[in-house]
Every structure is written in C-alpha cells, then in structure tokens.
Amino acid sequence: MPVSLLWAVDVYGRVYSLSTVGQQWEHCRNTHLEFKRVTAAQQCCWGIGCDNSIYLNVHASDLPVRYQEDTYENQRWNPVGGFSERLLPSDRWQWSDITGLQHQPMASFQLPSSSWEWEGDWFVDENLDGEPTEKEGWTYAMDFPATYTKDKKWNSCVRRRRWLRYRRYKDMDTWAKIPSQQTALPDPFSDISCGGWEISEEPRGRLSLWAVSLQGKVWFREGISHHNPEGSSWVEVPPPGEVVQISCGPGDLVWAVLWEGHLIVREGISRDCPRGTSWAEVESPSPQVGAIHVAVGVNVVWAVTKDNKVWFRRGVNSHNPCGSGWINMVGEMIMINVGLNDQVWAISCEDRLVYFRQGVTSSELSGKTWKAISIPRDGERSHSSASANSQHSAGCFFSSEVRAPSVVSDAELDLEHPPGDVAISNVTFPGPDSFVDAPTNSSSSQPCEVVPDEGEADVLSSNSDVTITGSGGPPDPQWSNVDLEEAQIQNGQTGAVADSVDSCSLSSVATYSLAMEDQYGVDEHPLWAWVSGGGCSVDSHSQLNWFTMLQSVQSMSLSMTPAQTAAWRKQIFEQLSERSKREMDNFRHYEQAIEQSVWVKKGAMQWWRDWKPHKWMDVHFALEQFSGAEGHKDGILFIYYNYYEEKKYLHAFINEVTILVPVLNDSKHTFAIYTPERTKQRWPIRVAAGTELEMYDWLALLSVSCCDSRGIYGSPSKQAIWSITCKGDIFVSEPSSALEAMPYPTPCDQMFWRQVGGHLRLVECNSLGIVWGIGFDHTAWVHTGGYGGGFFQGLASSTDNIYTQTDVKSVYIYENQRWNPVTGYTNRGLPTDRYMWSDASGLRECTKTGTKPPSPQWTWVSDWAVDYSVSGGTDREGWQYAADFPASYHGFKTIKDFVRRRRWARRCKLTTTGPWQEIPPIPLSDVTILPCAAQSSVDTVPVWAISNKGDVLCRLGVTLLTPADLRLLALKYQSALSPSAGDCWYHIPSPAKQKLKQVSVGRTSVYTVDENGNLWYRQGVTPSYPQGSSWEHISNNVRKVSVGPLDQLWIIADKVQGSHSLSCGTVCHRLGVQPMEPKGQSWDYGIGGGWDHITVRGNSMEPPRICLPSMTEPSPRAAHTPPPTAP
C-alpha cells in the first residue's frame, strides 16, 4: 500500500493530516486559515475555509499538472510574396483553433487562476501525427479545411502550423482558493464532498465535487480532472428540499440529508452523466429523529441521526442506490465518513476522538468494532501559545456545542457581547440580503478579533428577531453543521430564547475561549470536528500504527535496516558472530552431534498421469530430505502410484528440479515440477493438492528444498534474470558466468528458477540491481531487495522489505443480440448463433452469474458494467454493430447491421505480499532501465517509461538506494509503444506492413517484435549512425524480446515443440551471438509454456575465456545519455 493521508479538522478549525505510516497528526501549517470541513481524494483535498470560500490542496507528486495550450497559425500562398499571413476574406482567422472556426490569437490565452504559471513561451510543434515535419513545423494543404501533409507540393495553397505552450499548476501542497469567476455566485457553501473517481477513468484524475450552500441548494463542480484540478464552474442541481449535508462516494453513490431529517439519493449517475438525473427520497432511519449526517462509499451508506445514533444501510449498490433498510449500529457519533475501500471513520460524540471501524471487508461491510485513533499531534505542547486569533475564530463556529449546558447565562452574555464582525461579514458577503440569517452564520467563520461594540447590537438583535419569527417553520437552516444541530436539539425545550442563543451563539467568543482553555487544557486529547478518509488507502489488512504507541517496539523488532539499528541490537549481532567464531570456527573438524537424518514429508495428492488417456489419479507424494555431500541438504521426490494393480513410483531428485510453477484454476490446486528432461519434453510433473493451503505448503517446502540443495539463499543478485508467467507469477534465475559462454553455454533448460512473491505483468532490471515491475493494473512497482513473500514463509522469506501488493484486472464477457423485424434487437438469436452471453470468440457461454474470477486468488471488487473502451468504438449504450457474427464491429448502427454486441467488464482484485513497493502516481504500460556494464562505476541511471496514455516519461537519477525517488519528467511525445530506444528521437519506419509493439536495445543490437510475432533485427546500427539502415527478419512466433547489456538475445517464443507436447510462451536463448555475428545462429529452448515476459538486462557478467574485440566507441545508447529536454 502506498502512503496516503487521513484528513481531519479539529474544533479550532485547524487542519491535520495523518499518514498511514505516521504516528502523529501533522498540522497543515501552510495556511493561515481555519477550515470548517475538508473532503479528500487521493490526489487532493478540498476544504471550506472559514471565509466560506472553497480551497483546494493538490498533493505534490511526481506527476506535474501541466496543460498544453495550442493554437494554429494559418497562411495562404499568393503569387507575389509566397506564403503570407494575408488570407482570403472567406478564409479562417489567421490564428485559430484546429477547426478554424474559433479565433485564437496567442494573446487570448490567459492563465485560469493565480495558481498557474507558464512553463515557457510559445513554440512550434514540429510533429504531424507522430511524423517529424520540416524545421518550421508547417503542414501543407490545397485549401482550408483539408488534409494536411508535411510535404510541400505544387498545389499546396495554404499551410498552417501548430504553436504550443504549457502551463503548470504551481500551488502544490498548499491551500489555494478557488477563484469565483461567476458573477452570480452561489451563496456561501456549508458542505462539500468529493468522489466519483471510479465512475470513469477518462479524463485522468476526474472527480465529482458536490457542495451544499447555506440556503440548502446543491451545486456540482464541472470539469475537474488532472489537467484542470480546480474544475471550471459550478452548476446547480436543484434538490427537492433544503439540503444540509451531502456525501459522494468513490463510485456512483450520492446521498444528501434534508433539513427535515429525510435523506435523498441521486439516481442516474453514470459515466455520461456524472451529475445524475433525479432524486429519490429515503426515510430517516428513525421515525422520531431525523438524520443529520450521511456518508457513502462504493457499496455502503452510513448515517447519523440527531440523537447521535449510527445507522448502516443494507443492500446498497449501484443498481439499487437507495438500499433496502437501516440497521442500528453501536456507538454514538457526531459525524461519520466513508473512505476508500468502504472503510469507515467517525468522530465520537463522547470524547471527540477520531474512530476507525475495524474489520470492514467486502463481505462484512459493516465491520466489527470502533477503534479510537489516539495518537498525539505534532507539537502537541505548543498549542497553548496558539494565537488568540485562531482560538477566537475557532470558537466561533463550534462554540454552541461546548456551551450548550449553560444555556441561559451564556445567552445573556451573548447579548451583552455582540460580535464585532457581523457588520464586516455583512459587507464581505455577496447577496446576504437574500437570506437574512446568512450574515450571522458567515460571521461564525470569520477569523476576526472580537471587538465588543454597542453599535452592532442592532444588527444582532434584528437577526435574532428574524430567527424567532421564523421559528414556526423549520428551525434555522443555516445550522447545517452537525455539532450545532446537536446543541440545538438539546436547547429545544427552552424555546425561543434558546433559538436566539443559537443564532447568536457565535458572539460569545470571549467567554468561550476562556472556558475552552479551562475545560480542555493543552494536555487533553484533541477534539475533532471533521474527518475525511477519501484519500486514505487502508483496508482491513492494513497494519496501522495509530492505535497504540507501543507499536514502536514491535516495528523495531521487525525492521532490520542498518540505519535504524539501535545500539543494543548492533551489539547483539556483533556478539553473536563473535561468539560463533569463538565457539565454532576452530572446531569445524569436530563431528556434529546429530547426524542429519532423513526427514520425510508425505501427503496424498493427485497426479496428471504420464500415459494416455491422461487424467488425474490419486497418488502418494513424498519428499525425503537428507544431507548431501558438502553439507548441502538434498532430497528426492517420490510419487507412488498404482499401475494395473502394481505399485510403482516415479521420482525426481530435488537438485535436478529447475522450477516449481503454481497453476491455480477454479477446479484444482495444482503445480508443475520441471526438470531439464521434463522441460525438453514440455511435459512437467503435474500434481494437485486437496486444498489451496496444502498446495502452498508443499510449494513452499519444495521451493526451500530446491534452494537448499543448490545453496541459493537470500535476495536475487544484481545479475539475476527475471521472468513472469502469464498468470503474473514472478520467477528469478541466478545466471552462471557460463550462461553466455561460447561456444558451449549452459543449456537454457538447466537454469534454476525460483519464485518471488508478488504479482506483475512485466519486470525490467539492470545490472545495478534496480528492478521495476508493472502490474496488470499498470501500477509501477520497485523491487525492495527482499525475497519471498506470497506463500513463502519462515526462512524462505525476508521479514523486512515485504509489502502488501495488489493487482486489479478486468474480466470481460460479451452480450450478443440479433435484430428481428418485429421487436428490434433482442436476446433471441438464431439457433446457429453464438451464446447470447459469451466470451470474445462466442464459443463459450459466459453469463454474468456464471463467470468466476480467473483463480481463487482473485476476488470480485466491482459489479458488471458496460465497457465503452472497446477498439472500434461503441454507441452510447456500449453496443457495437456488425452484419453478422463474427465480423468486424463498429460503434454505430447502419442499415446493414443485424447483430450487435457489447462488452461487460468486471474488475477483480488480487492481494498478495512480495518484495515490491508501489511507485505512485502514474500508471505505466512499459518501462526500461538503462543497462550498465558490470565494471561500470555509474550508480545513477535513468529509467524510461511509457504511461498507459502513451506519454514517454523519464525518471533521472535512480540509484539502488533510492530506486523510486526523485522526479519523473513527463515528456509529451508521440504515442510510443515500447521505450527501449534512445532519446534523440528519430522516426524509424517499421518493417513493411507490420506494426511494431516492442523494442529492446543492447550494447550494439536493436531488436523489435511486431504485432504478428515477428522478430526483427536492425541492420547497420553504428555509434555514428544509430538509426541503422534496414530491418532483417530473424524469427516468427515471438512474443517478447530482451536484449541484454552484452547483446545477449532472449525471447519468449510461442509454439515450441517438445517431445511430448507443444508449449506456448517459452523462454528461448539465442546461441552463437558474437560481436561479428550479432544475430546469432540458433535457439536454445528453456522453461515454458505460459511465460509472458523475460528480462536479461541485469546480466552483464562477461562469459569466461572469451576476448571481445574492444568496444572503444560508446554504444548507441550511451551516446545519447544526456537527459532529453522537453520539446
């Protein structure tokens, strides 16, 4: 889990954040403001300041917020002066947008707010659809509007070029006020809630922000995305009554509380319509007591009623956003908030602490118990000297609650000390006339000194009057704050007097702040007013350090990083090793007291028998372990079976096993055991255990035995070769120096692979030991240097450096329909048609209910939803049309289309552990790390990556110690697919009619793989001419290629024939690669099938006894290492 923050506001209006790895609340110091409420997302936090303005705090990250502005310069040729800016009257503007319809001179571009700055001046874009243009960037056409080409022809009468300028959001990590552009500004905001980031991934960083104004209106902020964090404008969404509070979940749930205590639910929220279409009403949990607060997550709704009781709504999901019924929960809370993963945070009514709901899982959404977060705040002691200013203003808006018990006397005081700031706020607030109570309320949050002033009494009393007159109807609607309502309920009996107390309670600042200091001294725990977990990524498995200070002892005992080593621990280690020397080293010739006896583990398993017909048969499985020669442990694996009533067995020596591969599917828990012989046959020993647990037990044990017998312990070396199966399992092999030896390298099928915990789609490394991986969900991960994790336990796993790793992928099914003249499209197909619910091929039936996650490791995390991101496009409902099944589908209906289909996606999630740490924030689709020679002294290298949006990114200065730190430079460039190439971009045409999908570059060789599985070698690449001259076809059936720093060539190949079977996804090694023969001669086949990725870029070990001709000239990559400049 990456580090994330929980946000909270205390009763003084101070904003604090608590890191998931931290142990104290950090005061958000970069603001002089006090806040009423905050609402957090992972990338930012919104807040309502006490001046009632909305503030935004965008978290600084590696990914800068940059926005590209562009405008087009248009010119027409005329016979006299050539191309000039004189256009025909019928032509477009000289400066326009891409369509030519909009007049866009450079000067018309303004920064949207003071939070932005220009990154540089305008410059010409010298690219046309990824192809470089001439120096000036002009593109030519016959006339406007037309197709533009980069070449000037005889008939090119017009030309245009594109100018670019970047602006950057600069106010990172500070509270920046959202400018109020609109003249008709809504009245002051009283509540705010953000969410909706799961509705759609486009555009990146999209958020829904809902706000409630003092008048009970509901507003929606349009246009918030990564590139426009502030959003563009407010749109009113009229509710059926006066809303006091609103909550928006990460998905499509939005609930609000009405003034009367009912709740309303927004319906019709979807990808196309994030604002929703209508409101539905839900009764308050308790008929007598109305609701005052609601909080929603993805599939949960929690509410608080006016008596502080907590309620959980049953049966809520995106199809039924209203849910089915209320359940009363334990605890009395003043507010509640649902964060990520439906985790619940609340502030207790009794002690004002922040509570975390423990045990909330997807199967038990209501959790188990409330647990207080009782940790200190930073500079806990310093608060006594907090400025009077902050105390006062804080007192303003939370006073009523504290004061409530002594109603009458305070009320009198209030009238004697009217607030001095009422008048001020009268002035500051736009449109206070529209609602008479507004000034009072706004004053509540003005951070002003109290100046008791008789002159203001009139204002106050008039306010009170109004309130009292209005008391026949609903009580003052401005008390949308939970705390204040609470006070109001208590005051209810005292009638009109109490009412007036409420409305002017804010004036009692002076008395109040004194009382405050008495009552809650600085040593008291903080009193919280608001909490938001929307950015806080925890789940029921997370280890949090928040609940007790004693944790520190525990964490000490687990972590072993040298920096933290306490003196006592260092001493123990030193003494232990000294003692071992003393007591053992001179006595190694002594016999061991205990002979390593044979140790046997047995079990009942099933075995996929070797002879036909192949089927699972029950066998006895046994591992015998003993001490082999030279003290290595060794063992033999036995499979005892019956063959026509005759007892037989099959055995494998543990030191011959090359790999153990778990193969989980929904029916059997199996794993495969390979030896070199079995690898040649493409026919492993396949065994199935009764339960998943048993399978992992065996795998862990066998894996340790194999490592023991080969003397392989600890973390993978820097030279290690990494590979990944199509299931996402990660394997690593320690190369011997003979692996690349000439002419007799170690055969590829003898390589020993061991599994490392975690789950990745691809992995890349270099010889400095920097290893990056990318998950199926495009999350980037860096190897922490540990080993084990996952099912490895005990000694097979390092204790530190193991973290929780999650991965998410989508399962797709297709809904197919056929048109008939009577009813239109229906789910009744022809008898010859495919299943109406099927997989992509249509051959297999896949219903919504019958489709399971890919293996038991995966669990569903979302419901089925229409997938619009299908190649070919879809209509608004996600349908794609075609003349018949199977055919090419298009995203619009024509007269000839008789069938249609749409894709449904459901996300599933896998949670495991492994030596990997997340590198937020950019989702990546590919990555490469500059390789280094073994003897190289370089210790920082650039990491190049391609984001899942096709941007080329470079991270500079990556070292082994800080493999994931530092800045990521984002380079907007043409959509590239694989980032192995250098960095002065030359456009290199693909081989004829082939679309390249991957490239890998070694010391002197460049190889690419195209979409049809062909492997190409770039000929004529020299240091002075790195572009090379032409492509040469090497092989087909290639899935991936990896060229190492020694130019060694490894691939993942499909369709490798073994003696028993055929395998797809096989690791292959090119033999005979030499400086004079860089393409090598033949393939040597290693482990497979089911392999999907390999990287040999860490193996820079020169093979023995071979003298390479000196490479005095730098390699093409090295020649271009200076960091690229942004275009």
The string of DSSP codes covering 1027-1059 is T-SEEEEEESSEEEEEE-TT--EEEEES-EE-S
Task: Please check whether residue 292 is in contact with residue 306, taking contact to mean a CB–CB distance below 8 angstroms.
Answer: yes
DSSP 8-state code for residue 485: H
Task: Collect all residues with Cβ–Cβ distance below 8 Å to 299 and sequence separation of at least 6.
Answer: 251, 253, 316, 317, 318, 342, 362, 365
- Distance of closest approach, residue 549 Cβ to other proteins, in angstroms: 6
- Distance of closest approach, residue 625 Cβ to other proteins, in angstroms: 9
- Of 584 and 984, which CB lies nearer to other proteins in the complex structure? 584
Sign of CA dihedral 83, 89, 95, 100: negative
- Of 566 and 1107, which CB lies nearer to other proteins in the complex structure? 566
- Of 183 and 592, which CB lies nearer to other proteins in the complex structure? 592
- Of 590 and 644, which CB lies nearer to other proteins in the complex structure? 590
- Of 550 and 563, which CB lies nearer to other proteins in the complex structure? 550
Task: Collect all residues with Cβ–Cβ distance below 8 Å to 1001 and sequence separation of at least 6.
Answer: 980, 981, 982, 1007, 1043, 1116, 1117
Q: How far apart are CA 889 and CA 880, in angstroms?
A: 6
CA-based end-to-end distance of the chain: 35
- Of 107 and 553, which CB lies nearer to other proteins in the complex structure? 553
Task: Collect all residues with Cβ–Cβ distance below 8 Å to 196 and sequence separation of at least 6.
Answer: 206, 207, 208, 248, 249, 250, 251, 252, 269, 274
- Of 284 and 625, which CB lies nearer to other proteins in the complex structure? 625
- Distance of closest approach, residue 551 Cβ to other proteins, in angstroms: 6
- Distance of closest approach, residue 691 Cβ to other proteins, in angstroms: 16
- Distance of closest approach, residue 789 Cβ to other proteins, in angstroms: 12
How are beta strands 1066-1071 and 1049-1053 bridged, if at all?
antiparallel
Q: Which two tokens stand for residue 710?
A: 């080969």
- Of 488 and 709, which CB lies nearer to other proteins in the complex structure? 709
- Of 580 and 1030, which CB lies nearer to other proteins in the complex structure? 580
- Distance of closest approach, residue 1094 Cβ to other proteins, in angstroms: 30
- Of 372 and 457, which CB lies nearer to other proteins in the complex structure? 372
- Of 598 and 984, which CB lies nearer to other proteins in the complex structure? 598
Q: How far apart are CA 460 and CA 475, in angstroms?
A: 18
Q: How far apart are CA 754 and CA 888, in angstroms?
A: 43
Task: Collect all residues with Cβ–Cβ distance below 8 Å to 255 and sequence separation of at least 6.
Answer: 246, 247, 263, 264, 265, 266, 282, 294, 296, 301, 321
- Of 48 and 707, which CB lies nearer to other proteins in the complex structure? 707
Task: Please check whether residue 1099 is in contact with residue 932, taking contact to mean a CB–CB distance below 8 angstroms.
Answer: no
- Distance of closest approach, residue 587 Cβ to other proteins, in angstroms: 4
- Distance of closest approach, residue 697 Cβ to other proteins, in angstroms: 9
- Of 573 and 643, which CB lies nearer to other proteins in the complex structure? 573
- Distance of closest approach, residue 593 Cβ to other proteins, in angstroms: 4
Q: Which two tokens stand for residue 683?
A: 């026919």
Sign of CA dihedral 136, 139, 143, 144: negative
Q: How far apart are CA 185 and CA 187, in angstroms?
A: 6
- Distance of closest approach, residue 637 Cβ to other proteins, in angstroms: 17
- Distance of closest approach, residue 769 Cβ to other proteins, in angstroms: 19
Task: Please check whether residue 359 is in contact with residue 369, taking contact to mean a CB–CB distance below 8 angstroms.
Answer: yes
SS3 call for 385: helix
Q: How far apart are CA 64 and CA 46, in angstroms?
A: 18
- Distance of closest approach, residue 804 Cβ to other proteins, in angstroms: 15
Where in 704-834 does DSSP place strands (E)? 721-725, 730-733, 753-756, 762-765, 771-774, 780-783, 803-820, 824-826
Task: Please check whether residue 568 is in contact with residue 375, taking contact to mean a CB–CB distance below 8 angstroms.
Answer: no
> How far, CA to CA in Å, does 239 sit from each of 217, 224, 243?
7, 22, 7
Q: How far apart are CA 337 and CA 547, in angstroms?
A: 18
- Of 593 and 961, which CB lies nearer to other proteins in the complex structure? 593
Cα–Cα nearest to 689, from 708, 704, 673: 673
- Of 588 and 1105, which CB lies nearer to other proteins in the complex structure? 588
Task: Please check whether residue 329 is in contact with residue 366, taking contact to mean a CB–CB distance below 8 angstroms.
Answer: yes
- Distance of closest approach, residue 588 Cβ to other proteins, in angstroms: 8
The amino acid sitting at 855 is: S
| Site residues (vs other proteins, CB under 8 A) | 543, 547-551, 553-554, 556-557, 560, 567-569, 571-573, 575-580, 582-584, 586-597, 599, 704, 793-795, 797-799
- Of 72 and 696, which CB lies nearer to other proteins in the complex structure? 696
> How far, CA to CA in Å, does 685 sit from each of 605, 677, 748, 971?
12, 11, 19, 49
- Distance of closest approach, residue 69 Cβ to other proteins, in angstroms: 52
- Of 691 and 1059, which CB lies nearer to other proteins in the complex structure? 691
Q: Which two tokens stand for residue 728?
A: 């996402």
Where in 343-463 does DSSP place strands (E)? 344-348, 354-358, 369-372
- Distance of closest approach, residue 853 Cβ to other proteins, in angstroms: 30
- Distance of closest approach, residue 351 Cβ to other proteins, in angstroms: 18
Length of the chain measured in residues: 1127
- Distance of closest approach, residue 793 Cβ to other proteins, in angstroms: 7
- Of 796 and 1041, which CB lies nearer to other proteins in the complex structure? 796
Task: Please check whether residue 355 is in contact with residue 372, taking contact to mean a CB–CB distance below 8 angstroms.
Answer: yes
Q: Locate tokens 């919504």: which residue?
A: 848
- Distance of closest approach, residue 573 Cβ to other proteins, in angstroms: 7
